[in-house]
Amino acid sequence: MSAVIRTAKGGHGFRHWWAQRITAVALIPLSLWLVAGLLAHGGADRAALKAWLADPVPAILMILTVSAALYHAVLGLEEVVVDYVHGSGARIACLILLRLAGAALFAIGIFAVLRISLGA
């Protein structure tokens, strides 16, 4: 329980900060790749998009981008929650919801890329 209280008080400490930096560094090339990829393939029809993600390299890069972006978003939003949501009950509820929403979106995103890539 003490870990929950520490989390509710904003005491994530070093690991939170470090994971935010690692995902930030990863997202420098990945986000640029995503914009370039969306510019080239984002307006395409479904068949063309499938053909793009059927190639292993874009499929793997898309999985990495979705993963890093969602993890980075959860870490950043946790900071916002810790700064602005007062009262430990509401704060813990928000932090739990954030992690669960992040995990759900991660599962949906990875499943989607695999299904597009491996054929649906």
Partner 1 sequence: MSSANRPLSPHLQIYRWQLTSVLSILHRLTGIFLSLGAVALVWWLFAAAFSDAYFAFVQGLFASLSGKLFLFGWTFSLFYHLANGIRHLLWDVGFGFDLRTTYITGWTVVIAAFALTALAWACTVGL
Using CB under 8 A, list all residues that contact partner 1.
21, 24-25, 27-28, 31-32, 34-35, 39, 43, 46, 49-50, 62, 66, 69-70, 73, 76-77, 80, 105, 108-109, 111-113, 115-116, 120
- CB-wise, 9 or 21, nearer to partner 1? 21
Rounded CA gap, 87 and 84, in Å?
10
Between 77 and 93, CB nearer to partner 1: 77
> Please, are residues 117 and 59 in contact by the beta-carbon 8 Å criterion?
yes
Rounded Cα distance between 25 and 48, Å, is 30
Spatial neighbors of 113 by CB under 8 A, at least 6 apart, are 53, 59, 62, 63, 66
Smallest distance, Å, CB 59 to partner 1? 11
Integer-rounded Cα radius of gyration of the chain: 17
CB 103, min distance to partner 1, A: 12
Q: State which residue, 4 or 96, has the beta carbon closest to partner 1.
A: 96
| Distance from C-alpha of 23 to C-alpha of 40, rounded to nearest angstrom | 25
Question: Cβ 80 to partner 1, closest distance in Å?
Answer: 7
Minimum distance, C-beta of residue 11 to partner 1, in the bound complex (Å): 20
Q: Are 109 and 59 in contact (CB under 8 A)?
A: no
Q: Which residue, 3 or 120, has its beta carbon nearer to partner 1?
A: 120
